[in-house]
Amino acid sequence: MSPFCSWEGDTLVLNILGRPRAKKTKIGKVIGKQLEVHVAEYPVRGKATAHLVDFLAEEFQVPRSAITVVFGVYNVNKQLRITAPRRLPSIIPPAQGSLL
């Protein structure tokens, strides 16, 4: 399994390195044990994390409520849990035995 993500049943666990104040919100590259995600929002009172969650909900085709921020709401280092993603970006490997 990739060092930046793992599967726990149908839940994807992602280690994220947030890059706030970007020109465009997009998924970047893997850096060490984290997936870099550029966020077009300022890191003020969790706004960048909220924007990140909205972006990832759209990317993974899940409701916002399917994404839990385990830690890092006010930090660039985050861990997220995404329950039952319906779509995976190409950088994310599917779960073993998955139909995605």
User: How many angstroms separate the most distant Cα atoms in the chain?
Assistant: 40
**Residue 60 confidence (pLDDT):** 97
**Residue 14, domain member (yes or no):** yes
**Residue 88 confidence (pLDDT):** 95
**Residue 97 confidence (pLDDT):** 62
**Residue 2 confidence (pLDDT):** 63
**Residue 98 confidence (pLDDT):** 59
Q: How far apart are CA 54 and CA 30, in angstroms?
A: 21
**Residue 6 confidence (pLDDT):** 95
**Residue 50, domain member (yes or no):** yes
The CATH number that applies at residue 61 is 3.30.1200.10
**Residue 71, domain member (yes or no):** yes
Number of domains in the chain: 1
Tell me which residue of 74, 2, 77 sits closest to 37, measured CA to CA. Answer: 77
pLDDT along the chain (100 residues), means of 10: 86 97 96 96 95 98 98 96 96 74
Under DSSP, is residue 56 helix (H, G, I), strand (E, B) or coil?
Answer: helix
